[in-house]
């Protein structure tokens, strides 16, 4: 058996996390999982909050700021520098193509994958011409595909800030991930939209724990808390995204679920204005990366040049 280091109050396992309340809540979940699985004392696992560059820039839409590395870069620098042992991420914020030095060694059991509408009970219930705040090209395109009359503008800030902007009337409504609201102890905020109506972002609802790939001891420790079905489904969604050449500018959605030995993957790509939408699904045996690639090819083949141009593939 590979031994992993014994962490103690004097030499604790240091978990790096972003400072937002959501990131801190997710890091607490990772800490609890590691403590209980490895019989570690409370003080033997500590959180190390780190300021991510994405958190310093609150006034521009994320899509203009150069991608998801914004959220992961500082934490990975801290891993390399030996300032932390592991890092916790929302898998949704982790870029698909990553430096080989780092490895997501574990994912926690996936939470509710749906989006929630805050400010109205459903998409259909939004008043004519309602002003919806979202900075997600996916959510914007999916809303416009169903309701061309909506006015959509960018909204930034953490979950609490966004909720306050609906409360104050700056926006009529916004969409947030159910998982984030639940983790912030707001299970009653908003109204869930079923995935048939709004397919979530790839990796939505999944939390990953990362360590240096070279740290076999830490990787072993992480694999003991990994939730294998979540890992398999999220990896399938990410393989689809990667095959599309999508990034955070691209309106793309994906959701995989495990059904016995098979993975059922649904995906869709849209034009920014929601006027075009190409959706499909595929079933494949777990671990077959050919499945996600096939679905991506199928959708790109059907797509107009305008939509293809939104993807790098």
DSSP letter at 259?
E
Query: How many CB atoms sit inside 10 A of residue 77's CB?
Result: 14
Cβ-contact 286, 279 below 8 angstroms: no
The one segment of 80-88, 174-182, 236-244, 263-271 that binds ligand PBG by CB under 6 A: 174-182
Which residue's Cβ lies closest to ligand PBG?
180
Smaller CB distance to ligand PBG: residue 153 or 216? 153
| 180: contact with ligand PBG by CB under 6 A | yes
How many residues of this chain bind ligand PBG (CB under 6 A)? 10
Beta carbon of residue 58, minimum distance to ligand PBG (angstroms, whole number): 13
Beta carbon of residue 177, minimum distance to ligand PBG (angstroms, whole number): 4
| 204: contact with ligand PBG by CB under 6 A | yes
Q: Respond yes or no: is residue 288 known to be catalytic.
A: no
Beta carbon of residue 239, minimum distance to ligand PBG (angstroms, whole number): 18
Task: State the catalytic residue, choosing from 55, 83, 93, 305.
Answer: 93
**Per DSSP, what are the bridge partners of residue 69?**
none
| 179: contact with ligand PBG by CB under 6 A | yes
Element (H, E) at 280: strand 277-285
CB burial of residue 170 (10 Å; 0-12, 13-18, 19+): middle
| 205: contact with ligand PBG by CB under 6 A | yes
C-alpha separations of 2 from 15, 179, 200, 226 in Å? 21, 34, 38, 17
The one segment of 4-12, 80-88, 89-97, 250-258 that binds ligand PBG by CB under 6 A: 89-97
- Residue from 116, 130, 104, 132 nearest 184 by CA: 116
DSSP letter at 6?
P
C-alpha separations of 179 from 40, 186, 196, 205, 284 in Å? 27, 10, 17, 5, 27
Beta carbon of residue 116, minimum distance to ligand PBG (angstroms, whole number): 8
Which one among 31, 33, 177, 296 touches ligand PBG, defined by CB under 6 A? 177
Beta carbon of residue 220, minimum distance to ligand PBG (angstroms, whole number): 25
Edge to edge, the sheet with strand 252-259 lists 252-259, 262-270, 277-285
| 119: contact with ligand PBG by CB under 6 A | no
| 72: contact with ligand PBG by CB under 6 A | no
The residues annotated as belonging to the active site are 93
Residues that bind ligand PBG (CB under 6 A): 90, 92-93, 176-177, 179-180, 204-206
């Amino acid at each position: 058996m590979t031994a992993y280091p014994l962490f103690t109050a004097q030499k604790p396992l240091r978990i790096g996390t972003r400072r937002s309340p959501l990131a801190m809540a997710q890091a607490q979940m990772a800490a609890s999982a590691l403590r209980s699985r490895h019989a570690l004392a409370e003080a033997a696992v500590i959180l190390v909050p780190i300021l991510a560059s994405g958190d310093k820039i609150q006034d521009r839409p994320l899509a203009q700021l150069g991608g998801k590395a914004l959220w992961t870069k500082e934490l990975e620098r801290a891993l390399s520098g030996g300032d932390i042992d592991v890092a916790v991420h929302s898998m949704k914020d982790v870029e698909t193509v990553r430096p080989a030095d780092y490895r997501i060694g574990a994912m926690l059991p996936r939470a509710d994958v749906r989006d929630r509408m805050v400010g109205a009970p459903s998409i259909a219930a939004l008043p004519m011409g309602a002003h919806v705040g979202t900075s997600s090209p996916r959510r914007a395109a999916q809303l416009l595909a169903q309701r061309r009359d909506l006015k959509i503008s960018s909204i930034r800030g953490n979950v609490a800030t966004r909720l306050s902007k609906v409360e104050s009337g700056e926006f009529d409504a916004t969409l947030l991930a159910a998982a984030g609201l639940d983790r912030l102890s707001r299970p009653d905020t908003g109204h869930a939209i079923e995935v048939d109506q709004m397919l979530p972002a790839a990796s939505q609802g999944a939390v990953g724990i990362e360590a240096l790939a070279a740290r076999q001891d830490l990787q072993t420790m992480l694999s003991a808390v990994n939730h294998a079905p979540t890992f398999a489904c999220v990896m399938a969604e990410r393989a689809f995204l990667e095959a599309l050449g999508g990034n955070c500018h691209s309106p793309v959605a994906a959701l995989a679920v495990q059904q016995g030995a098979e993975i059922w993957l649904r995906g869709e790509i849209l034009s920014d204005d929601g006027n075009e939408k190409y959706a499909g699904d595929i079933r494949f045996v777990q671990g077959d990366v050919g499945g996600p690639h096939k679905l991506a090819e199928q959708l790109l083949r059907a797509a107009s040049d305008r939509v293809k141009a939104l993807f790098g593939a």
